[in-house]
Structure 1
Amino acid sequence: MRKLVLKNDWIGKNPVIRIEFPYDFQLKEIVKQFPGCNWDTKRKVWWVAYSDERISEMIQFFKGKAWLDYSELKKVEIPQDKVSVVLPNLSAVNSKEIQLFEQWMRNKRYSENSIKTYREAISVFFRFLDNKPLEEIENSDLEKFNSEYILANSYSSSYQNQFVNAIKLFFANRKGIKINPDIIYRPKKEKVLPNVLSKEEVKKILDSITNIKHKSMIGLIYACGLRRTELLNIQLKHIDPNRKLLFIQQGKGKKDRVVPLSDKLLELLRSYYKAERPIVYLFEGEKVGAQYSASSLQQVLKYAVKKARVNKPATLHWLRHSYATHLLENGTDLRYIQELLGHNSSRTTEIYTHVSKKKISEIRSPFDDL
């Protein structure tokens, strides 16, 4: 039987129970159904709010589905003023409203990732309000949710923005609701520089990978500045080896774009194709014709970084940042980099000027003139 390991942890100032297990799609779907279960996108772990009653609730829920190992879980003494509120289950009425909202978003061609994010955000909002009827929700409920849930739990500004987007979109499509979404003030966006690897570090990572499929995936992300989903969505028909072009279809923002393929990369991809013979997608999983797993792809990089002894918490998106920064350092015009990355605004691309070591190193210090 599958096993779940329960451990103590904290989200902000609130104690939680971490739910750890090796990646298993079916088990993940079961865990998602446990009332009050949440996914921490930053730490990549499932969790539920801590309470003394949680263990008995989880034992009952997972009986016959998975074995719980709670040997490492310790009792937490929580001051009365710090006791976390366990959100109730979603009511049938509000669940139906969310389903209709999902249907509307699909009709509008929203991406599945956006639909999932908005659905989960609205669900948390409704549960926080104890399934208050939609027609009774007022502006004060939004303010209360922001202060007593988002800010009280020390969630990030990007996490807060997700709720802002979801709530505004949801209520914009409901009639007769006593609510003004414009009162939701967006948090000031944090100015965070992109994380970048040096060319030497990228080379060390690629050289550490012996599996031709894994090397091709990681190499292609860096060589073309791809997002993870863009790589996984590539089909054989999207590659034009004669013109040395890769066609990215329906990337972020439903945008198509074209990126060049270098001779060295094409040689690597040809070797990979001869060895693996994929049918539909360039990189397929265990099932023929099916996409490669996103979590497995991240694990490939994680293992390679460790093996290469690169002491940085590199992610797949770091490779995209590194690609853009290295292009800039090579003298590529920022307008071309914007096109290659698929950015709508040049302001998004300009952030790479702040991490380019070439541009920074060319600045002469006035100290040298003394």
Structure 2
Amino acid sequence: MMPIILMRTGALVMLGHLDCEWLDFFVGMGYIGAYCFNNLYSALLMARLFVFPVLHKGCRRLALKPDAYLPDSDFNVITRGLPGRAYSKSLRCWHVPFRENYRHWLSEVYERAADLELVFGDGGKVAERDDKPEKAMDADVHSLVESPTEIRVADDVSVASELLARVLVDKVNKRFYVEHSYHSAVFNSLARLNVGTYVSTDRRWVFPGDNVIYLQVLDVLKGFGFKPRVLTLEKSAEPAALPAGFELPVRRFDEAMLLRRLSFRTQEIYKSCFLLFLKDHQGRIVDELTYSELYGYLKRQSVLLSSTQLKQMIAAVKFYYERTLGRDKMFFPLAEKTEVRKSTLFLPYAEIRSLLDGIASPGDRMLLFLVYHANLPLNQICALPKDAENLFEEDCRMPGNNELALAYYADLVAELKRTYDLATFLLEDKGVPYSVESLKGKLYRILGHYRLEEIYRKQYEVILKQSSLSSKTQVMYLGAFMRFLDYYNYKHPAFIKDDEVRDYLLLHRGKSSAHQDNLVSSFKFFFERIHNHTLSDKHVVRPRKGFYLPDFFSLSEISAMLNTTDNLKHKLLIAIGYTAGLRRSEIRNLRLCDVDLKRNLLFIKDSKGKRDRYTLFSQHLHEWLKSYLNQAKPKVFLFEGPSPGTQYSTTSMAVILKKMAKAAGIKRKVHMHMLRHSFATHLLEEGRDVRYVQELLGHKSIKTTERYTHVVSDALLNVASPFDRMVAQTGFAGKKPHSPP
């Protein structure tokens, strides 16, 4: 007796112990090999198909789960022809729409399937659910049919064939939770309420404790056929009262969160972290804590808290001190800086060929071809044997699989053999194989020697697109660094020293501080985050920032400019820039759907810093807007270019403003941002709170908004010059001076 184990589609099947005579019989019949194992298994065992009801995405279905899968079996052919069939990745089986007479129906459907036994698992048993994560669906199929256990949503709520939901009311924290079986329409409807937050880790919704919201949520659930079960959570221990003196910081913290329009869940997280922060500083005046004290506290918390909790604590502390108290931006480098993804550049054959045609050395051409077209790693290139003509036909596949590229590679290999006396490897340095570091240095020298600007630019573009930088920052960084490489004849940054960077910065010392600051930021990004070379603070120093008061228009100047033209589009463009305090890019991106005439608001989407906000729209512009829409008939954007649906040029905006200012008799230099300066200055002159102006402008830090307060300071206007006091006391009349003796 000896055991026989057959391999069928990745599963081992034991057929018991057979006599040697039976084994000789199977060998003689040719049942050896993977193909005959399936036939042998089918001849000895009958396959079983388990059928049981499931609740899949809120709908009743019938699961069809065989004990083993055969690609060419009758079951597979018949099942793929069933109406409404679909495959569930979580249950790992097929399922079809539920019908009452499914026993009789499936028996007739699979009647012609040879050696297939139907096993029905619905006799008085609970329907299996398919709205669980895939990891939770690894139960054995036999346990699902022969001894199924009741799957529970939570506590005592069992899953039946009907749609179920559970509402948990937390009266202590004034909120309620909603748990429901998977239903995409219900999920989208709850999301459109814009009052709750879905916590993916808990797989439930969190809503504020408001009766109106509560009734809205119940109506949504009942409207889709759910039967919500309402439960009240047990009261937890009352939170400890805050020590005396902390009521004011908490109230200011709450007001700042409401003013910032933070989501309900974010407010909840920030508030809990801030209360913990206050309890840890009992007896201290939290408003007077220094940066070093805050950094020390957060550093101690980094040992006690998880990474997520630490990030939440840092965010809450920064929110209070930066947004509420208006301190300068603080950095707490407790987490490692995320590295920039460095994907290898792929150049199509036509592009790489145009670059290689200007290079004489076959070794240099081969290295560039393997790196930037074949995308082979350097360690694999170092190990390529000299007889590697059939590399992309046997061992690996070339991206694109271009026949011209394959032929070009074969010609390069032949040329290398003719030109060099290769000993063992395809690329050698005087008979010595390259290491990864030496081959990397050779690649860098090739890029600099042939001034391959296109490869530099495209490689950096690929890396920048994978970073979190804004599109404008990417363009600015790339342009500044490419001009820097051009100055040094495209020498690779790995060979550029710190003093060379310093010398280049000295050439731009006469430029504005903003220009110099952008250069330093660009160099630090490329050298430190891409090329892993830390620049010395001794050689790379940021310029000292000056303090400049913003220039703005007076009310009479704005009125005069608007009266200089009859072009309705030009008048409305300048008026909206002033009435809403918009940047020129925000005017350019303004869409028709962003104008809310009922509330006199403009919605500014994805502005600087990837932030959304609402700002003001004057009711006196309604008639201008309606006339402009009837006249211009824009399609997508409020101000469109010559072609419908295209954005208006920011250069054209600047030209319009300059012409209107010149016609109004304004002699000084003007620019579009002065409209934004005028908006902020005039609001503060009216006595508006600086925090509201900050929100309307979309400033991240209140320090940016406070510079406008220097322009409208009443104290400066009321201070008399000492010269005026001297005239008042002495009666000095400004007589002509006497002639010198």
TM-score, length basis structure 1: 0.70
The question of 1:105 aligning with 2:464 is answered: yes
The residue that corresponds to 1:236 in the other structure is: 592
The question of 1:118 aligning with 2:477 is answered: yes
Question: Structure 1's 182 and 157: CA in aligned 2 closer, same or farther, altered over 3 A?
Answer: same
Instruction: Give the CA deviation at 1:241.
Output: 1.5
The residue that corresponds to 1:288 in the other structure is: 644
The residue that corresponds to 2:508 in the other structure is: 150
The 8 Å contact of residues 205 and 305 in structure 1, kept in 2 or not, is answered as: yes
Alpha-carbon distance in structure 1 between the residues aligned to 2:556 and 2:527: 50
The residue that corresponds to 2:580 in the other structure is: 224
The 8 Å contact of residues 528 and 535 in structure 2, kept in 1 or not, is answered as: no
Match of 1:316 among 658, 672, 675: 672
**Deviations 1:141-190 (CA, angstroms, capped at 9, x unpaired):** 1112122x212xx222111111101111112222454x425441100012
The question of 1:130 aligning with 2:482 is answered: no
Instruction: Give the CA deviation at 1:137.
Output: 1.5
The question of 1:180 aligning with 2:180 is answered: no
Alpha-carbon distance in structure 1 between the residues aligned to 2:449 and 2:591: 39
The 8 Å contact of residues 579 and 616 in structure 2, kept in 1 or not, is answered as: no
Question: Structure 1's 269 and 186: CA in aligned 2 closer, same or farther, altered over 3 A?
Answer: same
Q: Which amino acid aligns with 1:140?
A: D
The residue that corresponds to 1:356 in the other structure is: 712
The residue that corresponds to 1:206 in the other structure is: 562
Q: What SS does the corresponding residue of 1:213 show, helix, strand or coil? A: helix
Structure 1 segment 18-167 matched on structure 2, within 5 A = 92-93=451-452, 95-147=454-506, 149-151=507-509, 154-167=510-523
**Deviations 1:178-211 (CA, angstroms, capped at 9, x unpaired):** x425441100012111111111111101111210
The residue that corresponds to 1:192 in the other structure is: 548
The 8 Å contact of residues 239 and 245 in structure 1, kept in 2 or not, is answered as: yes
Alpha-carbon distance in structure 2 between the residues aligned to 1:175 and 1:113: 22
Q: Which amino acid aligns with 2:596?
A: D
Q: Which amino acid aligns with 2:571?
A: K
Question: Structure 1's 197 and 359: CA in aligned 2 closer, same or farther, altered over 3 A?
Answer: farther
The residue that corresponds to 2:175 in the other structure is: none
Q: What SS does the corresponding residue of 2:530 show, helix, strand or coil? A: coil
**Deviations 1:92-146 (CA, angstroms, capped at 9, x unpaired):** 5454233222222222343332222111110111122222222212211111212
Q: Which amino acid aligns with 1:150?
A: H
The question of 1:253 aligning with 2:609 is answered: yes
Structure 1 segment 11-22 matched on structure 2, within 5 A = none
The 8 Å contact of residues 302 and 315 in structure 1, kept in 2 or not, is answered as: yes
Instruction: Give the CA deviation at 1:314.
Output: 1.4
Question: Structure 1's 139 and 158: CA in aligned 2 closer, same or farther, altered over 3 A?
Answer: same
Alpha-carbon distance in structure 2 between the residues aligned to 1:200 and 1:300: 18
Higher-Rg member (1/2): 2
Question: Structure 1's 283 and 100: CA in aligned 2 closer, same or farther, altered over 3 A?
Answer: same
Question: Structure 1's 219 and 357: CA in aligned 2 closer, same or farther, altered over 3 A?
Answer: farther
CA RMSD of aligned residues (A): 2.2
**Deviations 1:243-271 (CA, angstroms, capped at 9, x unpaired):** 22111011111111110212112332222
Q: Which amino acid aligns with 1:170?
A: F
Q: Which amino acid aligns with 2:594?
A: H
Q: What SS does the corresponding residue of 2:508 show, helix, strand or coil? A: helix
Q: Which amino acid aligns with 1:287?
A: S
The 8 Å contact of residues 90 and 126 in structure 1, kept in 2 or not, is answered as: no
Q: Which amino acid aligns with 2:498?
A: N
Q: Which amino acid aligns with 1:134?
A: P
Q: How many equivalent pairs are there?
A: 278
The residue that corresponds to 1:297 in the other structure is: 653
Q: Which amino acid aligns with 2:560?
A: K
Question: Structure 1's 304 and 176: CA in aligned 2 closer, same or farther, altered over 3 A?
Answer: closer
Q: Which amino acid aligns with 2:535?
A: N
The 8 Å contact of residues 196 and 322 in structure 1, kept in 2 or not, is answered as: yes
Q: What SS does the corresponding residue of 2:588 show, helix, strand or coil? A: helix
The residue that corresponds to 1:271 in the other structure is: 627
Question: Structure 1's 321 and 91: CA in aligned 2 closer, same or farther, altered over 3 A?
Answer: farther
